[in-house]
Amino acid sequence: MPAVLETQAKSPAVYDPISRALHWLTVLLVAAEYIIGSVMPSIHRGTPLGTMIKIHLALGSGLLLLIVLRIVWRLTHRAPPAPPLPVRQQRLAGLTHVALYLALILMPLAGWASASARGWPVRGFGVVPLPALVPEGKRIGFLLGDVHAGALYWILIGLIAVHVGAALYHRLVKRDTVLGRMLPGW
């Protein structure tokens, strides 16, 4: 058997365990952040830094650290072979993934800028101290807070809807191995 085919035949068609762990941990944290963001007190000038908001900042900035790690891991590790798909579909999937990574970086950054403008300290997972992104009281920080709770909020939800819709389409309609690559056994 030629060397390339032999390698392909041997490599399991699933993402490696670290990629899978990072993917599902991201899903958990993003869901938690949307829920906490929706139930925490709405934030205006002078809102005190209560427990729910502290948890939102800690998990969200932890998520940012995790996404950076995930992108580094992804750039140094190949995705497993996919089932044969039309080139247009492959490009669309690739584009959605890049947009998801971008939104997962921008969303926490905008929230962090808003927290800094309000003078709130930010610690990744409540432990890793992070510097203020903008000086306290800076207008751009408040504007980015509006983008965080507005445009980016909806863009990320839209991308997730397309992504999850595609995963379910592959599993339920096409019945191919796309979902099983991220969720072995499915």
> Which residues contact ligand HEM (rule: CB under 6 A)?
23, 26-27, 30, 33-34, 37-38, 42-43, 56-57, 60-61, 63-64, 74, 79, 82, 93, 97, 100-101, 104, 107-108, 111-112, 114-115, 122, 145, 148-149, 153, 160, 163-164, 167, 178-179, 181-182
CA distance 182 to 186: 9
CB of 45 to ligand HEM, least distance (A): 10
Q: Sort 115 into a burial class: Cβ within 10 Å, 0-12 / 13-18 / 19+.
A: buried
Q: Are 11 and 66 in contact (CB under 8 A)?
A: no
CB of 181 to ligand HEM, least distance (A): 5
The token pair at 176 is 């191919």
* Host H or E run for residue 27: helix 17-39
CB of 138 to ligand HEM, least distance (A): 12
- Which is closer to ligand HEM, CB of 3 or CB of 110? 110
Nearest alpha carbon to residue 52 among 40, 60, 62: 40
CB of 136 to ligand HEM, least distance (A): 13
- Which is closer to ligand HEM, CB of 7 or CB of 161? 161
- Which is closer to ligand HEM, CB of 134 or CB of 149? 149
φ and ψ of 129, to 5 deg: -70, 130
